[in-house]
Amino acid sequence: MPRLFNIQIPDKKRVLIGLTYIKGIGLSRSKLICENFHINHKVYMKDLTKVQLSSITNYIRTNYKTGQKIESDMVKNIRLLIKISSYKGIRHFKGLPLRGQRTKTNSRTSRKISRKI
């Protein structure tokens, strides 16, 4: 099993699908990566060489945000919204839906959780 960015990718997956196991890389980005390295879409992960794997990881590391970087940026953005007291920040703080959903009949679990606090 190849290991990219501390994620085990199964050998029996094709390269297109295997790269999507990495957080931050979807199907369209994996297609771009395969085209960039001239890798056939039908090749399995077990057929890649170590040189190809290392070049793919270096390319992803330099061009895309992945894994913990995405999560830390998301948390940082939410904290900024809370700090400036925007509408979305207040809704995040209270644990309520923030994209215009109704709260009278839906989102019961989030309202119960926010009542306990």
In this prediction, residue 67 carries a pLDDT of 82
Cβ atoms within 10 A of the Cβ of 30, count? Answer: 23
pTM: 0.70
In this prediction, residue 117 carries a pLDDT of 44
* CATH architecture of the domain with residue range 3-63: Orthogonal Bundle (1.10)
DSSP string covering 15-72, please? HHHHHTTSTT--HHHHHHHHHHTT--TT-BGGG--HHHHHHHHHHHHHH---THHHHH
**What does the pLDDT profile of the chain (117 residues) look like in tens digits?**
777 887 888 888 898 988 888 888 899 999 999 999 898 888 898 888 889 888 988 999 898 888 888 889 999 999 999 999 999 999 888 888 888 888 877 777 766 665 544
81: part of which helix (H) or strand (E)?
helix 68-83
93: part of which helix (H) or strand (E)?
helix 87-94
Q: What is the CATH number of domain 68-116?
A: 4.10.910.10
The domain ranges of the chain are 3-63, 68-116
In this prediction, residue 112 carries a pLDDT of 65
- Same fold: 3-63 with 68-116: no
Q: How far is CA 6 from the centre of its chain?
A: 14
